[in-house]
Structure 1
Amino acid sequence: MKSETSGKSHNLATTLAIAFVLISLATLIIAGGFLLFVLFNTQRDAVAGRQRIVALQAANAVDGFIQEKFNVMEAAMRLTRTTEDRKRAMQVLLGLQPAFRQLLLLDMQDKNLFRVTRLSRNESFRLDRQLERAPFPMVKEGKRHISLVYVDTISSEPLVIMAVPVRTVLGDALGALVAEVNLKFMWDLVDSLEVGETGYAYVVDRDGRLIAFGDTARVLKGERLDHLKPVIDFTKHDNHEGHAEVTTFTGITGKKVVGTHVPLGTPDWAVITELPLKVAYLPVVQSAGTSAVIIIAMAILAALAGTMVARRLAVPILNLADTATRIESGQIGLQASLEGPLEVIRLAGAFNNMTERLQVMLDTEEERSRKLEGEISQRIKMEGALRENEQLLTNILESMDEGVLVLNRDFEYQIFNRKLEEILTTSRDVALGRKPWDVFPAFRTKAYDEITEKVKIGELKGVSERQLPIPSGEDKWVSENFSPLKDAQDHDDFKQIKIIKEYDESIPLVLCDGSKVQQVFLNILKNGAEAMAENTGDERPPTFILRVQEDDPWVRVEIEDNGPGMDDKTRRSIFVPFFTTKPVGQGTGLGLSVSYFIITEDHGGELGAYAADSGGTLFVIRLPKAGKQNT
């Protein structure tokens, strides 16, 4: 009987041991398989991500080569005013840019005005024949142009033609600057790109022809790669944005690779990167192998532990098995009871740690979901607030008792409120999106031809008002008011300042950008107010004297303060970018330099600072009268 009892006890222990081992193995296999699946997908995504980053870096490098050529050409023309200046700039540009074989300056009739070249006379005229076969009218529309790649019949080097528009300061088209660019200088750039330790990067055009690769012999042969999968995707799909998916294909060297391509847009090329398949997925295989060994080791250890402690785990192990089954059924938050022998308690604790980690993972995902929902909710609220603000602005404009109109940069009606409809007896549906002279034929009369797109400088508080005559029984003016003086007076620095106005009654028209000129006035006024506020030892009340008068061929605006003034060295430096006399953290040194650029470059005027008789500073702004702008 005793022996029989012992046998039954042994059988129960064996059964428990087998059950414990099976449960442990099942749990490890499920968890391990899931972890291997997640690891494989994570590593695969990481490989794809690295390939995308490498491809984008390569594309940025190639695109940077092309854009740098465009930028230096445009900068050379933007900094010149006369034909002689442009000739000198072209000669300097040819010396600084070894990729340029020759440069041509063309007028609006495509006539060659000037040429600089590294080639012989006969070789240089091959560019003329190339231009005859591939004209580029889009440059006259203010756009950049780059031609298809062609090969020099003598040197077998790939070339392209790049062209940028040449304009006056006021934006009038003068012609085009054309450059013949040798792409062999891009070969070294592409060859230096690192795609892992054994990968490649190369460039193809829209026809699938190889134009840049480390093996220059293949480039010189004009090899076509339209049999490669990324090249096929590029040539068949007109996709100029983003990049393609990372795929596996037979690469340029005939080996299986992982790669992708990135279209450049302009020029119509694509940069392709590829990495050998074995090299790309080596980290994936290594990580999977390591994880599999760990899982197998854990399974073996679990089996051994189950066999050793099975006889002491009768009731506790059954409870633990029941807990494991319930967790497997979906009760993730369940914890195993820590009771029984020490080994069982430890096993239950380890099991609980595993479930806690799984719970943390789930909680993290839930937190991410809640955060995403919050962001979506916030965006919806912001969009609703934006719509409310837009509606509020519309309601304010519609409820105003004055006629309000706004003209956009193309001099077309953008806002035309209800009161203005009553004043002009013209429907806004007729006016919106059209130019004034298309709505009111009287603008075509001789009396109004000189007024188009000009600003009338009246009192300084309205110097940046954009004014436009509207024909009717009497001359009426509808203004879009931007009063820099009023805005300044609302500021704390201006509340104690006396303002003296000396305005000429008959001020001619000028052509300017009202918002930019307003910014200039505000910068000068604010700097003067701060200077007078710091001049605590002067008993005179702080005062601005504002003058507007004709100074043929200019309209002259003077802003004078009675502050402490500046010495000669400071006055010579105030228009230099980043120069400031303020303490660190209180000034950027950009206000007056930007103002100087707005007046001189954007408007062809003059801006200077002088010592005033009052001991302060006198700023003098000269803007060209209508019809007197420099071209």
Structure 2
Amino acid sequence: MALIKSLRKALTLSFVLISLLPVVFFGVFSLQILNRNLQSEIEEKNLLLSRSLSREIDVFKSESMDFLKLIKDLTEENEIASESETDDLLLSMLSINKNFDMIQIISAEGRVRHLAPVDENIRMMNLSYLEIYKRTEETGEPLWSPTYISPQSGSPTVILSLPMKNGMVLGYLNLDYLSRIVEATNIAGTGFVAATDRDGTVIAHKNRQFVRERQKLVSLMPVKKGISGETGTYRYSHLDREYLGSVSRTESTGWIVLVSQPVKEAFSSIYTIINIVIFGSFLALVLSILIAYLSLKRILQPLAYLNNDSRFAAEGDYDRPFHSSKYSEINQLINSFQVMIGAVNQREMKLKELQFFLKDIINSMPSALICVDQDLNITLLNRTAEKRLSDMDDDPMGKKMGVLIPRLKGEESAIKESIEKGIPKEIRKLRRVEKSHSYFEDILVYPLVDYEAEGAVIRIDDVTEKTKMEELLIQSEKMLSIGGLAAGMAHEINNPLAGIMQTANVLNKRLIDKVDIPANKKIADELGINLDDMKTFMERREIPRMIDSMLDSGKRISSIVSNMLNFSRKSDSRKSTVSLSVLIDQTIEIAGTDYDMKKEQDFRNIRIIREFQSPMNPVVCESSKLQQVFLNLLRNGAQAMEKQTEDPQFIIRIYHDQKNNMACIEVEDNGPGMDEDIKSRIFEPFFTTKPPGIGTGLGLSVSYFIIHEEHRGQMNVESAPGKGSRFIIHLPYSP
């Protein structure tokens, strides 16, 4: 019987041989700490250099402003000096400070009084248009202008303004001094120092061409940080190279100083140390690996067999026998593997059955189900969702949801929020348009809260029909509410109107028709009034005409109120025999009093041409519903002709259609008309050409339903752009 060796002893011996590895790892760890410390020192050194240059620029600007203040004081002390004496004073001061290209004394009117060097073409020039002049006048404080390239010197220049008693001092400061400071700063290698204004425009650089061309460095990340008010040292990339940039700001003007070096040049000494340590660690590591390999080779072979046998089992070959080993520990491990594989085989079979069962449930759902990961990539679709994406050439798995389903792109933020917070999200009535038809969907987002990978299940339900029914119910409720309100108002109007008309009738009888009644004679005798003279007086004052006008207006109000009551009365689906001409006249009268139509265009300004066949048989119908249809047509036509037709008119025809033995009603306008696309969809629910908030798109669809379904009639439209529209309704005399 072969001797079975202990794997524990063999592994112990091998691990002793590779114990040197922690020493190497400790060295690498120490190197990392050293590397970070050295990098921090270099970054701090560059930042200190940048801040030092910023302070030097601040000193330069402060001394320049102090120089102008000296000129201001000397000028104000010698107010009685002649023009030439003042010019000589400025020339002598300009010779002291070579950084100024020109100094000007500006009068209170904004004109150049004195200047150096003297230029008679400039003297008395009006500079009040300059922005810095205006700002100094407003604030009364010393100011700096934005930098610019001087056309005389070709150098970057800035104007300093200093208010004085009767005007101000302007100094044109040449900024070449800043470039000399930058050039004197020693940066190793290809590094550079640059100064920019608050907009990132170069005002100092060792390459003077950059300054003359006013190149901008706003594309460099450190400059962006400086413009936003931040200072520090940053790593950034430029022209495929990585740089180390330290940025600071001057206190007075917010100019930016950038000290930049390629990272490789800045950290070259560190890289040398790192390379040496890495090479030594690599040699030590290779030696340790070689020793470990030689030691473990004898005991790793059985593990290799076990690994190979396990791979076959992982691929589904559960019946393949395992290799035996001379190590007892490995034999125990093999037996445990075989028991485990048997259990895995049983569980896998049950899992497959459950997967098929769940897949059948998911695929049988009428809702579309879409699974996405945290980046909104599609991971699973059920059969309904696959059908909706059946026109896709590529496999949708792994693709972005917003790319494959564009209508959901606007909801990506809501879906991501649901995933991040683990809270279900509901999106109601999302509208989508396919082939000129509108559909509505409810979207429910369920985050995967008990799953290792973050994501969500998105359920999409088609609720188009449900939405249409809800809108129709809402519209019906609105119409019932408006009808009830109109009926209430009509009753409230009728009561005082009856009193007015009764009183007008009494006045007419007492003062016009029967002026000589006994009661009138008695009071006239008491007052000494002649009734004939009183009657003549009232006739000459047109009192009878006024009373007749009151009675006529009252009758008209009574007729309008009666029509409103008839139109607003709730229908009990009872049909009655109705004269179409009378019904249309009542509808036209209601349209003339409709507030929604009058606030945009008075309906009474529209000419109504009636072409009614007489005699005409009545029809059996629900009059209030037919009035709703006619009122919808008149309202839509009036709105279509609004501001687009100089002489708006309706032609309303009623005649007998002998061919179909039906009553025919035509409502024709001279509005802008419709194209074929609009005409083909005019009776669809929710379709409207009006701006949002003006119409619901239900008026004509409800009218079409009333004519077709409730009266067994026909409703068609004829129209062309620029030729108006004509709606044709056919009604049976007895449906």
Q: Normalized against structure 2, the TM-score is what?
A: 0.34
Bigger RCO of structures 1 and 2 (CA < 8 A, at least 6 apart): 1
Q: Which has the larger radius of gyration?
A: 2
Q: Normalized against structure 1, the TM-score is what?
A: 0.39
